């Protein structure tokens, strides 16, 4: 997987947890933070994906700066156990990146309640559970940052994705709330809102067979994306490292005056 050129060691001595790190943007983010010196605990529900992330990190950095832990972020007990173990290993926490999420598509009138609850449970409730479990440790850091994942679907019409859009809109509002609540205590909270990024999620979104595909002709980036060697490369879409680089900026001291907002990363798709 391609990594952006390392400019400096912005995360030397810093400790990070990245969820969804078994693939896609979560993996790219874990690798980017480790490349800049962070000790990262990568969390995902997929053990095989985490193993691949760890191997990529060792090959790229020659160190064990990325360790892995299997956990289900939608399960309160799993989050408590996973974060507790991660904090014991790290000895503290400076950065939490909540990249884990799922996408399911359907006509809204045909969307099963179980599917709705699963999407909300993983994307929105999972983000809440991770933040709640990590707040105490972040309050002890002088560089505390939470980066949550919204989506362009939170602000723009993406049909057949109503549950996903609702979950991402909720994450965006949640992020604004915690940014205000903890600003005076030294925690920054920001959102990234990716769009038109190659990943397993965008490669197989499950669009209904009878969908109006003219909608999706609007989801073409204005910019030509740089080459990527990500596992999934969808022509015309940006690679996950495009988002990882922005997260590294937001989570470092370069983003020290940024909180309570979101950064859209979509190559100009929604200008």
Label each residue of 104-172 as H, E or C.
CCCCHHHCCHHHHHHHHHHHHHHHHHHHHHHHHHHCCCCCCEEEEECCHHHCCCCCCCHHHHHHHHHHH
Q: Is residue 9 part of a domain?
A: no
Q: Is residue 4 part of a domain?
A: no
Q: What is the mean pLDDT of residues 230-239?
A: 82
Q: pTM of the predicted model, to two decimals?
A: 0.93
Tokens of 89: 């290993």
The structure tokens 């983003």 sit at 255
pLDDT of residue 4: 44
Q: Give the three-class secondary structure for 55.
A: helix
Q: What is the mean pLDDT of residues 85-93?
A: 98
Distance CA 171, CA 149 (A): 7
- The residue that leads in pLDDT, 252 or 214, is 252
Given 11, 116, 149, 164, the catalytic residue: 164
Q: What is the mean pLDDT of residues 143-148?
A: 98
161-200 pLDDT, tens digit per residue, is 999 999 999 999 999 999 999 999 999 999 999 998 987 7
Average predicted confidence (pLDDT) for the chain: 92
User: Of the ranges 62-66, 128-132, 211-215, which is most confident?
Assistant: 128-132
- Residue 23: closest CA among 58, 71, 56, 72: 56
Domain that includes residue 149, residue range: 15-265
Q: Is residue 6 part of a domain?
A: no
- Any idea what the CATH number is for the domain that residue 170 is in? 3.40.50.720
pLDDT of residue 38: 96
Number of domains observed in the structure of the chain: 1
Q: Is residue 47 part of a domain?
A: yes
Active site residue 182: no
- The residue that leads in pLDDT, 207 or 133, is 133
Residue 7 has pLDDT above 60, yes or no: no
Q: Is residue 7 part of a domain?
A: no
Q: Is residue 66 part of a domain?
A: yes
- The residue that leads in pLDDT, 39 or 5, is 39
């Amino acid at each position: 997987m391609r990594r952006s050129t390392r400019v400096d060691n912005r995360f030397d001595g810093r400790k990070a947890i990245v969820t969804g790190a078994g693939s896609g943007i979560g993996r790219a983010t874990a690798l980017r933070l480790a490349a800049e010196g962070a000790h990262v605990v990568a969390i995902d529900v997929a053990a095989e994906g985490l193993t691949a992330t760890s191997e990529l990190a060792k090959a790229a950095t020659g160190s064990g700066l990325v360790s892995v832990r299997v956990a289900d972020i939608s399960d309160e007990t799993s989050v408590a156990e996973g974060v507790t173990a991660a904090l014991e290993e790290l000895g503290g926490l400076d950065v939490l990146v909540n990249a884990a999420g799922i996408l399911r598509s359907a006509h809204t009138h045909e969307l099963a309640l179980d599917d709705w609850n699963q999407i909300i449970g993983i994307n929105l409730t999972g983000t809440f559970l991770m933040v709640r479990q990590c707040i105490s440790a972040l309050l002890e850091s002088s560089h505390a940052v939470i980066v949550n994942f919204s989506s362009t679907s939170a602000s723009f019409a993406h049909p057949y994705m109503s549950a996903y859009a609702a979950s991402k809109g909720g994450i965006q509002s949640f992020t604004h709330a915690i940014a205000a609540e903890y600003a005076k205590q030294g925690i920054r909270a920001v959102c990234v809102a990716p769009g038109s990024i190659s990943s397993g999620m965008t490669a197989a979104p499950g669009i209904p067979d009878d969908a109006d595909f003219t909608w999706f002709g609007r989801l073409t980036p204005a910019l030509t994306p740089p080459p990527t060697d990500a596992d999934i490369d969808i022509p015309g879409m940006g690679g996950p490292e495009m988002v990882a680089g922005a997260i590294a900026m937001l989570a470092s001291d370069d983003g020290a005056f940024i909180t309570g907002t979101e950064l859209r990363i979509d190559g100009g798709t929604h200008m």
